[in-house]
């Protein structure tokens, strides 16, 4: 499975997914859906949309990947994990077919999610792509709107080594006549999306060309924003139950998507109803969607902060955001996977931090000694540890009460401490 072994488990082919869906009675066609791709922010965007729909009273399915601690985090309705009995029932019912088809872990999970959402008669399902878009197993749905958050460098060995090539793969989720929201405009990729949307006759809108989120203040668990549309006040003092500064762009993508969604759900044409759903959903984001692992403080004195950012753009945003958190000394518990070259990410990391290098407990985790050696070449000071937990324990021993410990580099590193 891709989560454990990486590219060897990636299949550039929708054949198995189409065969599995046919066997299951085409469940993906039995509910409206929103399809989300992008290099960064697609998980946050998916959870925000899920929370808003749940707050509005919709029975809301949410499919995301990968998971942290429990496989069922991938498949949720109104923030509740898919029950164990339903996972078992699906596997028992379709095991013989799976033995013949030999689907990948991801293909099998996508089929399970679609089957569960159809049987539970969800009102809407928010579906996040796993990798890329064009040949991702989720790309068999017919959504009411497609969303592409942004384009950056990640998985170049599978998606292409230039931004236009990566954008072309992500643009594969744009369907004929289905509206598409692009979160962030980029000079290298804008034309790719415009051309694909023109070919498919899909209305296209770039969220950042119309909406702006301005942070006002923050509390212990939330940030408050004013939202402007084309320079004019749109929504004032919106509470987002998440502290990550990088959510500004995702917030605009979500709100732009909700404007498009209003064309499909009459309830949302009532501006007061729409605003109430947005306010309640975003203010209770974690409670309503079971959102975890992103910019999450897991303890205090010293503060321990986790985030799952794992590519250049994501890490760059993290490093910038860390500058705004008051602390005396910065400690970094860091690990990554062995199918990515860490050199560029290591060059982005702050030189003034103390590092604790670790290998996540999965086969594709990069050896901590190798990582420490490469980090030393990049001018970073630190030691390797045999596990993430031991690295965090060492950081806690070394840190003063006013220090900040950051845990990240990979979702698999974060999964071991939250």
Q: DSSP states of 392-415 as a string?
A: HHHHHHH--TT-EEEEESSHHHHH
Model confidence band, residue 162 (pLDDT cutoffs 50, 70, 90): confident
Looking at the fold, whether 274 and 336 belong to one and the same domain comes out as: no
Three-point CA angle 40, 347, 208, nearest 5°: 30
Q: Is the pLDDT of residue 159 over 80?
A: no
Confidence at residue 70, expressed as pLDDT on a 0 to 100 scale: 94
The two structure tokens encoding residue 84: 């164990």
Q: Is the pLDDT of residue 245 over 90?
A: no
Confidence at residue 389, expressed as pLDDT on a 0 to 100 scale: 95
Mean pLDDT of 333-345: 87
Mean pLDDT of 160-183: 92
Share of the chain above pLDDT 70, in %: 95
Looking at the fold, whether 311 and 276 belong to one and the same domain comes out as: no
CB 3 within 8 A of CB 105: yes
Domain that holds residue 215: 2-289
The two structure tokens encoding residue 69: 């601690």
For residue 141, give the 3-state DSSP assignment: coil
Looking at the fold, whether 18 and 86 belong to one and the same domain comes out as: yes
Looking at the fold, whether 168 and 190 belong to one and the same domain comes out as: yes
Confidence at residue 131, expressed as pLDDT on a 0 to 100 scale: 78
Looking at the fold, whether 303 and 223 belong to one and the same domain comes out as: no
CB atoms within 10 A of CB 407: 27
DSSP, res 30: S
pLDDT (tens digit per residue) in 97-124: 999 999 999 999 999 999 999 999 999 9
Looking at the fold, whether 243 and 309 belong to one and the same domain comes out as: no
Phi, psi of 106 (to 5 degrees): -70, -45
Looking at the fold, whether 133 and 204 belong to one and the same domain comes out as: yes
The two structure tokens encoding residue 409: 């580099």
pLDDT (tens digit per residue) in 2-27: 444 445 545 567 999 999 999 999 99
CATH of the domain at 282: 3.40.1190.10
Model confidence band, residue 219 (pLDDT cutoffs 50, 70, 90): confident
Of 270, 289, 308, which marks where a domain is finished? 289
CB atoms within 10 A of CB 223: 22
Confidence at residue 12, expressed as pLDDT on a 0 to 100 scale: 67
Of 244, 271, 289, which marks where a domain is finished? 289
Looking at the fold, whether 243 and 360 belong to one and the same domain comes out as: no
Of 236, 265, 289, which marks where a domain is finished? 289
Mean pLDDT of 176-202: 96
Looking at the fold, whether 378 and 269 belong to one and the same domain comes out as: no
Mean pLDDT of 178-198: 96
Confidence at residue 1, expressed as pLDDT on a 0 to 100 scale: 43
Looking at the fold, whether 71 and 156 belong to one and the same domain comes out as: yes
Looking at the fold, whether 95 and 220 belong to one and the same domain comes out as: yes
Confidence at residue 5, expressed as pLDDT on a 0 to 100 scale: 43
Of 62-71, 95-104, 147-156, give the lowest mean pLDDT range: 147-156
CATH of the domain at 303: 3.90.190.20
Looking at the fold, whether 125 and 105 belong to one and the same domain comes out as: yes
Q: Is the pLDDT of residue 153 over 90?
A: no
How many domains does the chain fold into?
A: 2
């Amino acid at each position: 499975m891709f989560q454990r072994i990486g590219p060897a488990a990636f299949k550039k082919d929708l054949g198995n997914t189409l065969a599995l869906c046919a066997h299951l009675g085409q469940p993906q066609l039995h509910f409206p859906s929103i399809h989300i791709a992008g290099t960064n922010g697609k998980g946050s965007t998916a959870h925000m949309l899920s929370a808003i729909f749940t707050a509005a009273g919709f029975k809301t399915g949410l499919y995301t990947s990968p998971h942290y601690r429990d496989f069922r985090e991938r498949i949720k309705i109104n923030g509740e994990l898919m029950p164990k009995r339903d996972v078992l029932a699906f596997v028992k019912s379709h095991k013989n077919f799976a033995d013949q088809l030999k689907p990948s872990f991801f293909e099998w999970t996508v089929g399970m999610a679609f089957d569960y959402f159809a049987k539970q008669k969800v009102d809407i399902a928010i579906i996040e792509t796993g990798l890329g878009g064009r040949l991702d197993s989720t790309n068999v749905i017919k959504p009411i709107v497609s969303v592409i958050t942004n384009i950056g460098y990640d998985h170049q060995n599978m998606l292409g080594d230039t931004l236009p090539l990566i954008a072309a793969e992500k643009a594969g989720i744009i369907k004929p006549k289905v509206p598409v929201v692009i979160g962030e405009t980029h000079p290298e990729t804008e034309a790719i999306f415009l051309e694909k949307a023109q070919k498919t006759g899909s209305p296209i809108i770039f969220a950042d060309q119309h909406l702006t989120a301005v942070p006002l203040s923050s509390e212990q668990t939330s940030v408050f924003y004013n939202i402007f549309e084309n320079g004019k006040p749109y929504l004032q003092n919106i509470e987002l139950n998440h502290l990550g500064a990088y959510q500004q762009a995702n917030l605009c993508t979500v709100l732009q998507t909700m404007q498009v969604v209003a064309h499909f759900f009459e309830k949302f044409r009532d501006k007061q109803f729409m605003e109430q759903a947005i306010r309640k959903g975003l203010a209770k984001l974690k409670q309503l969607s079971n959102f975890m692992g992103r910019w999450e403080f897991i303890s205090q004195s010293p503060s321990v902060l986790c985030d799952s950012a794992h590519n250049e753009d994501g890490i760059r945003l993290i490093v910038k955001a860390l500058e705004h958190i008051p602390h005396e000394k910065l400690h970094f518990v860091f690990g990554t996977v062995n199918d990515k070259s860490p050199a560029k990410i290591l060059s982005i990391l702050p030189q003034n931090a103390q590092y604790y290098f670790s290998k996540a407990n999965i086969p594709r985790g990069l050896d901590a000694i190798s990582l420490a050696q490469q980090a030393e070449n990049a001018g970073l000071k630190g030691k390797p540890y045999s596990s993430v937990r031991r690295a965090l324990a060492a950081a806690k021993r070394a840190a003063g009460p006013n220090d900040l410990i950051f845990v990240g580099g990979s979702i698999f590193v974060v999964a071991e401490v939250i």
